[in-house]
Every structure is written in structure tokens, then in C-alpha cells.
Amino acid sequence: MTTSVSFEFFPPNTPVGVEKLKTVVQELGALAPQYFSVTYGAGGATRDKTLSAVMDIAAAGFEAAPHLSCVGSTREGIAGILSAYRAQHIRRVVALRGDLPSGTATAGEFRYASELVSFIRETQGPDWHIEVAAYPEVHPQQRYAAQDMRHFADKMKAGADGAITQFFFNADAYFHFVDEARKLGVTQPIVPGIMPFHNYGRIAQFAQRDGIDIPRWVQMKMEGFMDDAASIRAFGLDVITRLCERLIDGGAPGIHFYTLNQSALTLELCKRLGIGAKV
């Protein structure tokens, strides 16, 4: 049985980026993904671009899932966005709280993603598929892991169909998270989010910002390669392949790849993992 995959993009900013993404969608589409998701700038910064990217994906014949963050938003505003998606036959969404840029005055009418999940369920009914975010290494603004887990379980019980994790490099953190969630009665799939080493420096910055552990031996090897792009690529692929193998062998229900709108590394990883017959 082949592992199901989904791929995440950000909405491109330029006409060139838009065209490039269409090519990437075709390349990754050959792997028959469950869906492609497109991120959303908190406070609505990318509202139109996210919708446009989602429409391009749907027009290419694939299932598309816009991300939707609620912080800084009103119920009326969120309802308007959901109606626009409904009109375009979109029924899958990744529901998030988001983070407002510092200095933003209003928190809006939603405090947490769980409130957005409830709102979508109440206003859109049962035919929407709602994914939410999970943090195997604890949400960076949360001091206590147990509290974070309780909030996660509440979010799932508010009506989510599944969760996608923040990226991580430690399979045990994922397995522990899933075990703890099951103890709190969470039964929905929790899909690991995997970040290939597209660019080590950038990924290390993301990891530091979001409290994600890159094992020391991986850091030391990567930093030791200096500007040797071929070694960074080869080692990064080996590390991520091994991580995915452990996750799949351990029962992960699928893999969600953070593609950063690029196909090469994700295609190579899927090939190594035997995902997608046509590649």
C-alpha cells in the first residue's frame, strides 16, 4: 500500500512565480497527492493570492485546500472567505489561528483555532474537511506541553477531521505526540509535516524561530559542508528519507511535504520512498 501524500505551497507574489507554481503542481501531481494546500498570511494579507493559487490548482484537476487563519478577523470576514471558497467548490481547509504581525492593534473576534473550527462546522456544515495544526515539539508560545496537548485535543474535538504537524526532525517527538493525543481521546489522523532541506541556512532559521530541534549531529555535519551544495543536498536527502521511513514504518497515516514551491527534492524523496508510480 502506497503512502498518501499532500504538498504545501505559499501563494506566489509575482507572475513568474505563478507560472512556476503551475509547473510544480504538474510535476508533483504525477504522484497523485491527496491534495495541495496553500498558506494564508495572518490578518488576510494574502487573501486574494491564496484564492487565486487554489483556483489554479483546482483548474489543473487537483484537490486544493486553502489555509485560513482567524486572528485579527471578524466572523463576517471569515464567513465571506468561506462563501467565496464554497462558490468555487472548495470544501477542504486548513484552519489556523495565525500570528498577527507585532504592533497590530486588534485581535479580532477569534482567539484560538478551535473557535475557527467550531465556526466553520456550524456555518458550513459537515461536508467540509477541516485540517488543523499540531506541534510535536510544543507550540513555541506555550510553556507547558500538557496544556498545549489539552488545547490540541479540544481543537480536534471542536470538529477537525485531521491534523498536520509542524515540521520536525525527531521521529520520537511525533510518536510521543500521537500517543499522548490518543490518551486524550483524539482519534483523527495526525499527519507528519516534513520539511526537506531546501536550503539549510533558511530551514535552520525557521527551526530556531519555531522552537524545532535540529539534532546536533545534523547541524554539525551541515555546517561542516560550508558551501558544498552537493554534499548538503545528498546528506539532507538521506536524513529526511530515513525520517520518513521511520514515520511510515511506525504507522504515520501519510506525509505532508512543505515544498517551498519547489519540486526537485520532494520528487526525489518520494521516489526513494516508493511514493507515486509514475515518477
Task: Give the active site residues.
Answer: 8
101 or 250: whose CB is closer to ligand FAD?
101
- Restricted to residues 9-48, the positions that interact with ligand FAD (CB under 6 A) are 39-40, 42
By CB under 6 A, tell whether 219 contacts ligand FAD.
Answer: no
144 or 217: whose CB is closer to ligand FAD?
144
Q: Compute the residue count for the chain.
A: 279
Which of 73, 166, 259, 261 is in the footprint of ligand FAD by CB under 6 A? Answer: 166
Give CA separation, 168 vs 113, 177, 202, 244, 251, in Å: 21, 12, 14, 11, 17
Q: Which span sits near ligand FAD by CB under 6 A: 112-120, 169-177, 198-206, 213-221?
A: 112-120
Tell the smallest beta-carbon distance from residue 95 to ligand FAD (Å).
7
By CB under 6 A, tell whether 98 contacts ligand FAD.
Answer: yes
Give CA separation, 144 vs 132, 137, 141, 150, 193, in Å: 20, 11, 9, 10, 22
Per-residue 3-state assignment (H helix, E strand, C coil) for 145-181: HHHHHHHHHHHHHCCCCEEEEEECCCHHHHHHHHHHH
C-alpha cell at 41: 498570511
For residue 100, give the nearest of 69, 75, 128 by alpha carbon.
69
By CB under 6 A, tell whether 155 contacts ligand FAD.
Answer: yes
Find how far residue 170's CA is from the centre of its chain: 17
Q: Which span sits near ligand FAD by CB under 6 A: 23-31, 53-61, 133-141, 200-208?
A: 133-141
Kindly state the DSSP code that residue 2 receives in the 8-state scheme.
P
94 or 247: whose CB is closer to ligand FAD?
94
Which residues are at the interface with ligand FAD (CB under 6 A)? 39-40, 42, 67, 69, 94, 96-99, 112-114, 133, 139, 141-142, 148, 151, 155, 164, 166, 193
